Amino acid sequence: MKEKDLISSQSDQTVQDIIKPYIRYWYLFLLGLIITMAGAFVYLRYATPIYSVKAKVIIKDESNSSGFLEFSAIPEIGNYMSRYGNSKIDDEIAIFTSKRLITNVVKKLDLNTVYRAVGNVKTSELYGTLPFTVQFLEPESENKGGAFPVLNIEIQDQATYKISGDNLANSGIYNFGDRVHFDFADLIVLPNMEDEALFSKYTGETITVVHNDEESVALYYQGELKLLNEIPNSHVIEFSFESATPQKAMDFLDQLIVEYNEDAVDDRNQITRQTLNFIDDRLQIISKELDSVELDKEQFKSKNRLTNIQTEAAIILESASEFDKRQLNIATQLELTNSMIDYIENEDENELLPTNIGLEGDDVVGAVNDYNQLLLQRNRLLKSSTTKNPVIINLNNQIQQIRTSILQSLKNTRNGFQISLRDLNYGESSLNSKIEQVPAKERIYRDIERQQSIKEQLFLFLLQQREESLISLAAIASKAKVVDDAYSSRQPVAPKKLFIYFIAFVLGLLLTFLGIYFKGLFNNKISNREDLERLLRNISIQGEIPKLSKGTPDFITHNDRSIMAESFRILRTNLQYFMRNKGVGSDAHKTIFVTSSITNEGKTFVAYNLATTLALTGKRVILVGADIRNPQLHRYLANGDRSLKGLTEFIADPTVNIDDLVAKSDNHNDLDIILSGAIPPNPAELLLSNRTELFFSELKSRYDHVIVDTAPSMVVTDTLLISSIADVTLYVVRADYTEKKLVGFVNEANKDNKLHNIAVVLNGVSENNFGYGNKYGYVYGQEKKSFFKRLFK
């Protein structure tokens, strides 16, 4: 396999080749990790921990006691209730998260006033036991949206405090307990003298007090509160709230459950209170009627001197007792039915209907209970909704249907009672015909006594129902049973340390990677051999010269085993093979031009050390300074005298011969040097002289190798004018200096044959980029430096 093919096969990218540009900057990755991890540590050190507070309740299923099952008698209502049951928990969640209920909690716990202790780095909220409390006495109607300023209060001693704030007009020192007037409100600061240790702890410390309006605070808690019905088809609701003050969040959830139960109890008490009002009204009416009947009885007996029922009527009255009982029962039910019908027809449709007043008939009683439950449910939803809500509209329709159904049922029942009473009256008339001989006065007395019994029984019945309603009012249980009181997580849920450190770790690597990537992406300089190989077309790279560190000599010495010396030996060997492959001929009498694209690419440095390396093989070598515009070769002479005669004097003055120009190198006896000479006013025209070819022809006859330091080929035309003299043109490219676009000139010069037999050498390669990534070491046989030596080099 040819050398070029071998190099081409080795240039195929592997995983190591891809990550190699990043591994060489490992110290930057380490620095990036140190910075980001330190930032994460500082963030976690001063970040406010957030805790998760949870609670759990179960909503009691009151469908059996509330009469929901009894709606099966009315198909339309039964279908609606089956649909309603699926969304019942969602309705309860809506009530829990209503602004009305949360605002009550904010008021009860005074959550709209926040106290914070000002520290050197961060501010921490104080909750629970406070060194002092601030009472805001003026209404907040003019301060909606959090218009209250932040108050800075500093305890001076046990009697005074200092108050200040941005744009606070009355800043100053005041006594505890005094009423202080401000534009936004009047306030009183009360010290907590019960806990003297706490009061002393914060003496001299600044505590900020922030007072917000209740509505905005309620909206904040409403947004942060999360409720979940985690078990399908269950009545269990789990509360979740995240806060930096866990005790405050626990108090909020516990009080929210209390407010919910009180609200639910108040709703259910409305039915009982309405029933009590109805019974009290009826008791007043029955009491008056009973008094009137008893007074009539007393007057009748007194007027007619009656003490007891006549003996002759005993048997007939005993026969009529059954009629009396039935008449009494039917008359009582008819009276209750008429009262109920009158109540429904005259009272507002939004009022609850009385229950448990003694009406017979399960259908009517169940329908009344169901009507009350639907009415209560609608009123509860209206607290957090509007009348245009489809659920509210549907409920109104169902309520109207039930009310109409109840009224119709009561009227039907009344008709039945009237018919039964009429039949009994007919029977009584038949019985009365049998006691025609009983005095009329006795019959009147019996009617009076019967009316008295009806009123007494109805009065006693209403009293009994009233006592049962009072007992029911006192015995109503809470609707939400607490499964778990509010509790806080032991460990903060935010910030998550492992996650923050992981993000910092990834960010440290990513930022460094992106920095290196974009640096390489926008880098327009040639960095290594691979960059150069991708840009060159049909031009081989003969060698790489490492970048010299500060204080390192820029020339090769005798028995030099440095990296630079070895790289020039490789360059020398590669050039010998290159010239042989190009058919230049024998190794002797070769002219090598050393040029570059622009200045400062190191062509003089390469030319001198290449000449020295060739001289070390025993060859006779001369180094010629042909850069007559900006000569630099004189710096490799001991005296550094640039005034010595050189090439320009030989071309311009026919009397000058080569022996007058040759100077000996200080590094090697077989290396001669001819400087460029004085800088001429017409360098291009001077090089076109016939004496230029004569000069190089004579040098070839005397020396084995003629190394020529020429001018930059892209900047001036000097090198192109004499390029035909060269057997090989060694083109110098400097790593991290030569722009990639300049390599296009090399390809163009090679394509147009402007320069003869171009070969490229890469100069100034850093250690990380030297060779093929410096994978196989720098110098064979040289002791390899340890990691720490290379790190601190």
3-state secondary structure of 239: strand
Write the pLDDT tens digit of every residue in 392-441.
Answer: 888 888 888 888 888 888 888 888 888 888 887 777 776 666 555 456 66
Write the pLDDT tens digit of every residue in 131-141.
Answer: 999 998 865 44
In this structure, the answer to whether residues 577 and 710 fall within a common structural domain is yes
Mean pLDDT by 10 residues, the chain (793 residues): 42 67 84 94 91 93 47 42 58 92 94 90 87 80 61 91 87 91 88 86 91 92 92 88 94 94 82 79 82 77 60 60 77 83 79 76 79 82 78 83 85 84 76 60 73 82 79 70 91 90 94 87 85 88 88 82 89 90 70 93 93 90 91 81 85 90 82 90 90 91 92 91 92 92 92 92 83 49 52 46
Rounded Cα–Cα distance for residues 96 and 235 (Å): 14
- The first and second tokens of residue 635, run together, are 């710096």
In this structure, the answer to whether residues 571 and 504 fall within a common structural domain is no
By C-alpha distance, which of 267, 158, 146, 248 is closest to 202? 158
Domain that holds residue 590: 529-791
Q: How many C-beta neighbours within 10 Å does residue 624 have?
A: 27
Total tally of structural domains belonging to the chain:
4
Rounded Cα–Cα distance for residues 381 and 323 (Å): 51
Question: How much is the pLDDT for 250?
Answer: 95
Sheet harboring 663-664: ordered strands across?
541-546, 758-765, 728-734, 590-596, 705-709, 621-625, 671-674, 663-664
Give the sign of the dihedral formed by CA 358, CA 361, CA 362, CA 366. Answer: negative
Domain assignment present for residue 247? The answer is: no
Question: How much is the pLDDT for 441?
Answer: 64
Is the peptide bond between 495 and the residue preceding it cis, with omega within 30 degrees of 0?
Answer: yes
In this structure, the answer to whether residues 460 and 540 fall within a common structural domain is no
Domain assignment present for residue 265? The answer is: no
CA distances from 535 to 21, 518, 529, 748 (A): 18, 20, 10, 12
Domain assignment present for residue 105? The answer is: no
Name the strand (E) or helix (H) holding 596. strand 590-596
Question: How much is the pLDDT for 728?
Answer: 94
Question: How much is the pLDDT for 711?
Answer: 93
CA distances from 217 to 19, 250, 570 (A): 54, 16, 80
In this structure, the answer to whether residues 469 and 511 fall within a common structural domain is no
In this structure, the answer to whether residues 501 and 562 fall within a common structural domain is no
Report if pTM > 0.75: no
Q: Which residue has the tokens 């505890």?
A: 176
Question: How much is the pLDDT for 320?
Answer: 66
Question: How much is the pLDDT for 259?
Answer: 92
Question: Final residue of a domain: which of 158, 178, 212?
Answer: 212
Q: Phi, psi (5° rounding) for residue 151?
A: -100, 130
In this structure, the answer to whether residues 13 and 139 fall within a common structural domain is no
Domain assignment present for residue 220? The answer is: no
Question: How much is the pLDDT for 255?
Answer: 94
Question: How much is the pLDDT for 476?
Answer: 64
In this structure, the answer to whether residues 517 and 542 fall within a common structural domain is no
Domain assignment present for residue 59? The answer is: no
